[in-house]
Amino acid sequence: MNAIIQYILAFSALTIALVYLFKTFVWWPKKRTNKSCGNDDCGCH
Amino acid sequence: MSKQINVALIGNPNTGKTSVFNALTGLNQKVGNYPGITVEKKEGICKLPRGVKAHIIDLPGTYSLNASSLDENVVIELLLNKNDKDFPDVAVVISDVENLKRNLLLFTQIKDLEIPTILVINMSDRMAYKGISLDIEYLERKLQTKIALISTRKNKGIDDLKELITNYKDLSTTPCLNASSIDKNYFDNLRKAFPNQLLYKLWLVITQDVNFGKTNRKTIDDVSSFKTKSKTDLKRLQQKETIKRYQFINDTLKKGQTIDLASAKDLRIKLDRILTHKVWGYLIFGVILLTIFQAIYDWSSVPMDFIDSAFASLSEWTKSTLPDGAFTDLLAEGIIAGLGGIVIFIPQIAFLFLFIAILEESGYMSRVVFLMDRIMRRFGLSGKSVVPLISGTACAIPAIMATRNIESWKERLITILVTPFTTCSARLPVYLIIISLVIPEGRFLGLSYQALTLMLLYLIGFGAAVGSAYILNKVLKIRSKTFFVVEMPNYKLPLFKNVALTVIEKTKAFVFGAGKIILAISIVLWFLASYGPGEQFNNAERIVTEQYANVNLNEEELSQKIASHKLEHSFIGVTGRAIEPVIRPLGYDWKIGIAIVSSFAAREVFVGTLATIYSVGSDEEETIKNRMAGEVNPILGGPLFNFASGISLLLFYAFAMQCMSTLAIVKKETNSWKWPMYQLVIMSGFAYLVALIAFQILK
Amino acid sequence: MTLADLKRGQQGIIKDVSSIHIPLKLLEMGCLPGNLVELVQVAPFADPMYLNINGSHLAIRKETAIHILIETVDEQAD
């Protein structure tokens, strides 16, 4: 019983960590307000 | 719930705007980001008389409403968008009594947006010293505003300001300058096209080629059908507008302000004569830099050692107190260790920002920018790149965020791209342990070889940053108007409160920004190291026990063998062995491979991972070191960490882009995956090549 | 003559700033025709230049300074 709870807790921690990393690196949750700033000096005229 | 008054603090840089914000809100403040961009958003709550509360936003410092940077853009974006939840009920313009003329330019612009505006004249304690006297009544009448004469240094006038904010409804909203006087025809047409809009607001939307929020972008598009003026013409009109505003300000100040030059004293001239001197200036800057490095690496070693051992015992305690199980293990080996890896950098980061805050508050940083600009420009950088490059020696993340005030996009981009080469504090634990293993003790000219190696690695880091900047400057084809205007503020004694709040805020930003990522990666790594595919992992106990059936091992030795066998066949172990062929030419085995892979969470994880791999029960560095020294190269024989592989590892860590948090911040700041990917591939590729050459030559 | 020709300690009156190479920000900081400008200090190679324009202290690069037309006030620099 105890072991099961421990597993559930551990894997929820893993899930949270993975979701957080995914959100940070792959999918940007906040809306994009700027176009890509790669090639011109947007905002730095 | 009583209604909150929305207050926006606006002002030129160096007017003590942040001091006013701190005086109004105290510790009731929080720092966040504006949605989608990484510009800092500082807000706080202030209790006003008669039970009223104010929500105060400290907007980024700007010289005018014509934005030239992302930070400044935030100001206009907010002031033009009436639907924004933070749109101010009242704008408080902070000015500095010594630069009133220049500060009033921004004031007149905000007044023309017909927002109720209060003028704060700060640093009033310096009036007598500078021989300035003001006719407040006249100024209030002429500028159609209320004026609060305050001194945050002497803590005077704050209550008057609070009173004025409470009564903001009494403020006049009459503009200072009739916008159509700039070009009558043009503005008459504008008025016809958009009869319901404020003329000055339209004018701002037309002249800003920066991005605006949704509501305003639509307005721009509407106006574009009406664009009859070329960019150059618009610029001439902007010049004309500026001249008109200054005429108004000069007229106002002619009567409202008297300056008795005879009684003015100036510390600036004397200090500048030394601090910006062609020889002494650089010498003093060098001494200051050395002091900062000394502080970061020497003074912070005591708290760092303390944190290190505190987390080790906390982890030990968790393991022995909580019931056995997967979560307890994760807590002890993954989460607490991960947290320790973040907290241990707090002393260094706090020290670094303590110094940077003092240098900036005192006005010295502008002198450094002045001294270094010409030298940095040879490498495609700006004088303003000095601050990020210094900050980079603690951590690249705040350093990259500090590039925002570089006006030229090209210079800023190059600074962002090369900053990760500077030797950040996360490399230090790696350097220290490898140096102690492979560099012989002994002295050269009184300096130990080991210290010299470390110094050399720092130089290599700076050299790589500057050298790659030079190449990038030649390679990158970015058309970018470079202009460079730096205000040289007066010298001031830094306010303790401001410095302390900056240090707390920056440290918090690191802990909660990079810290979350490092923690998440530590958790994932723990899983990858604790679980594995197939027979070898699942039946590790049986396999090892059988293997050592004939050897006399005590229980502890046996459990260590089992742990390292498990690790070898865990997900991370499998990965490490898969990449072994790639790293073997550099002189590494799969264990070092794993350590390198896990270093992507943060470089210092290298040492921790090796400690886990060599299944060292105790956390004494000495033991890890001995274990590492005892490792044998599986192919060549002899110690695994010898001079050749050690140098190769040091060079690899010096050049490789190994920090996911830095990549995330570069993505945020450049708003594209392109640049962080270039960094990752080019830096790591170069690191591989250099490490390969070094090992092949030295072996 | 232009601002770039000033010597350390010399003063001038700004005559013309209409060149497109002059950023608006500079004008906003007080670099306008009729204003007094003093060269306070120069970095090595006379670049950047540390100016005092009508009480406003700022530093600009030489590449910008060559576009600002001025007239000297006193011919002998002190």
Radius of gyration of chain B (CA): 30
Tell me which residue has tokens 């007017």. B15
Domain boundaries, chain C: 3-72
Mean pLDDT across chain C: 86
Residue type, B31: V
Disruptive mutation site among A12, A25, A28, A41 for chain B (greatest number of B CBs within 10 Å): A41
Q: Does residue B440 belong to the interface with chain A, where contact is any CB pair within 8 Å? A: no
Q: What is the pLDDT of residue B227?
A: 53
Is residue C25 within a helix (H) or strand (E), and if so which, with residue range? helix C24-28
> Which positions 5-44 of C are in contact with B (Cβ < 8 Å)?
17-18, 20, 23-30, 32-33, 40-41, 43-44
Residue B108 sits at φ, ψ, to 5 deg, of -65, -35
Q: Can you give the pLDDT at residue A16?
A: 92
What is the pLDDT at residue B632?
A: 75
The confidence score (pLDDT) of residue B694 equals 95
Q: Would an 8 Å CB–CB cutoff place B40 in contact with chain C?
A: no
Task: Encode burial over B36-55: b for 16+ CB neighbours within 10 A, e otherwise.
Answer: ebbbbbbbbebebeeebebb
B633 half-sphere exposure, CB direction, 13 A CA radius: 19
Closest-CA residue to B58 (of B149, B142, B120): B120
Whole-number Å distance between alpha carbons of B538 and B78? 59
Please tell me the predicted confidence (pLDDT) of residue B2.
54
Residue whose entry in the numeric block shows the structure tokens 């893993």: A14
Distance separating alpha carbons of residues B592 and B580, to the nearest angstrom: 9
Write out residues in chain B with pLDDT < 70, as ranges: 1-2, 33-38, 209-229, 263-265, 480-482, 611-624, 634
Would you say residue A34 has pLDDT above 50?
Answer: no
B478 — phi, psi (to 5°)?
Answer: -115, 120
Selected residue with higher pLDDT from C74 and B559 = B559
Q: What's residue B36's pLDDT?
A: 59
Q: Which residues of C touch B239 (CB under 8 A)?
A: 17-18, 24, 27
User: Cα-Cα-Cα-Cα dihedral of B635, B638, B643, B648, to 10°?
Assistant: 20
- Which helix (H) or strand (E) segment holds residue C11: the answer is strand C11-16
Contact between chains at B374 and C40 (C-beta distance less than 8 A): no
Task: Residue count of chain B, please give it.
Answer: 699
Q: Does B38 touch chain C (CB under 8 A)?
A: no
- From C77's Cα to the closest Cα of chain B, the distance in A is 17
pLDDT at C67 over 50: yes
pTM of the predicted protein model: 0.80
Neighbour tally for B294: CB within 10 Å: 11
ipTM of the complex: 0.92
Q: Of the CATH numbers 3.20.20.70, 2.30.30.90, 3.30.300.30, 3.30.450.20, which one belongs to the domain with range C3-72?
A: 2.30.30.90
Q: How far apart are CA B503 and CA B496, in angstroms?
A: 11
| Contacts of residue C28, Cβ cutoff 8 Å, sequence gap at least 6 | B63, B64, B66, B102, B105, B242
CA distance B145 to B117: 6
**Of the partner residues B36, B67, B410, the one whose CB lies closest to the CB of residue A34:** B36
- Among the CATH numbers 3.40.50.360, 3.40.50.300, 3.30.160.250, 3.90.25.10, which is that of B4-262? 3.40.50.300
Q: What is the pLDDT of residues B293-330, one digit of tens each?
A: 777 777 888 888 888 888 888 988 988 888 888 888 88
| Helix, strand, or coil (residue B119) | strand
pLDDT, position C66: 92
